[in-house]
Amino acid sequence: MAKRSPEQWHTFYLHESSRYDDRRYATSYGRVFARLHHEAITQALIGVSRESRLVEVACGTGHITALLQELGYTAIACDLTAEMMEYAQARCSGSEPEPSFVRASAFRLPFRDSDIDVLISTRFLHLFSLGQQRTVLSEFQRVLRPGGRLMVDFDNRSARWLMAVPHLFYNLLRYRRFEPDTHYNAITSTTAMLREVGFEPERCDGLGGTHLLSLSWIAPELAIRFGRLHRERPLRVAAEQFLITARRK
Ligand SMILES: C[S@@+](CC[C@H](N)C(=O)[O-])C[C@H]1O[C@@H](n2cnc3c(N)ncnc32)[C@H](O)[C@@H]1O
């Protein structure tokens, strides 16, 4: 059960914008995670035309927006929090063509039905309860064309139980609370939910793993190599997140 409303998340990211990159991506593990994440997205995009109309929802400070740009795509990047998007704009400015940025809520995207070829959304849906996730995924389904491709990731429930004790201490020390205020998804029920709202899941890659934290400190390249093994079973069970690639039916 997610514990903040969509409006509260907006307020949270308004205040988080100036420290988001430092907290999520500037640590040793943050850099390892980003590499693994970028590799998985790059692979998921193989065969996707550079001419595709590609939307990134909840782009935040633009980590994936910049990757898309490097790969030759011109994304339309959306986020509800203008302050987060300002960092994305700064990150992507200078090289041509620049992505376009639109302030928009994932619950009501400013696109017509079947208007989009590819939709990517990363580190976002875990903010919401299952019911809210279903609403957002239905909105993604509405704007994607039949056959269009969805790439979306979730926090992995099985890894949470595997790391229950360290996570408890982490939440107590960092956030002064017992439980996270985000939602953990199970892979099986998430693929079922995607089918129910009109997608055909095609692959599921595990991403990172908080147990890689100490190895990321000592030997980051080794952590990346070991992290890659978490893309697939059996180590996927310990991955921090999972990325699903699906087709719009
Ligand atoms: C954890 S950050 C993820 C940022 C980025 N995708 C990444 O991978 O680093 C979550 C983002 O969701 C945005 N957000 C929160 N609620 C939203 C909503 N209803 N619609 C669109 N974006 C929203 C926040 O402003 C924030 O930038």
pLDDT category at 184 given cuts 50, 70, 90 is very high
Residue range 3-23: mean pLDDT, rounded: 91
| Residue range of the domain that includes 137 | 6-248
DSSP state of 98: P
- Residue 166 CB: number of other CB atoms within 10 A? 12
Q: How many domains are there within the chain? A: 1
Question: Is residue 103 a part of any domain in this protein?
Answer: yes
* pLDDT value of residue 222: 97
* The pLDDT of residue 223 is above 80: yes
Q: Could you tell me the pLDDT band of residue 181, with boundaries at 50, 70 and 90?
A: confident
Residue-wise pLDDT tens digits, 72-85 = 999 999 999 999 99
What tokens were used for 99? 């992505």
Mean pLDDT of the chain: 93
* Burial grade of 25 (CB within 10 A; 0-12, 13-18, 19 or more): middle
Average pLDDT over residues 16-31: 94
| Residues in CB range of 48: below 8 A, 6 or more apart | 54, 73, 117, 118, 149
Residue 69 has pLDDT above 60, yes or no: yes
Pocket probe mutation, ligand 1, options 11, 12, 79, 240, max atoms within 8 Å of Cβ: 79
Chain centroid to CA 70? 18
Query: For the residues 207-222, what does the mean pLDDT come to?
Result: 94
CATH of the domain at 92: 3.40.50.150
Give the model confidence (pLDDT) of 130-168 as tens digits: 999 999 999 999 999 999 999 999 999 999 877 767 767
Q: Is residue 1 part of a domain?
A: no
List the Cα angle 127/132/36 in 5-degree steps: 40
pLDDT (tens digit per residue) in 188-214 = 999 999 999 999 999 999 999 989 989
Indicate yes or no: pTM above 0.85. yes
Instruction: Tell me, yes or no, whether 111 lies in a domain.
Output: yes
Q: How far apart are CA 203 and CA 114, in angstroms?
A: 22
How many angstroms separate the alpha carbon of residue 218 from the centre of ligand 1? 31
Distance 209 CA to ligand 1 centre (A): 21
Ligand 1 atom nearest to 13, measured from its CA: 25
Q: Which residues line ligand 1 (CB under 6 A)?
A: 6, 9-10, 13, 58-60, 63-64, 79-81, 84, 105-107, 122-124
> Looking at the domain assignment, is residue 222 inside a domain?
yes
Return the ∠ at Cα 40 (arms to 114 and 120), rounded to 5°: 25
pLDDT in tens, 92-145: 998 788 999 999 999 999 999 999 999 999 999 999 999 999 999 999 999 999
Percent of residues, the chain, with pLDDT higher than 70: 95
Q: How far is the CA of 82 from the centre of ligand 1 (A)?
A: 10
Closest to 112 in 3D by CA, of 85, 139, 135: 139
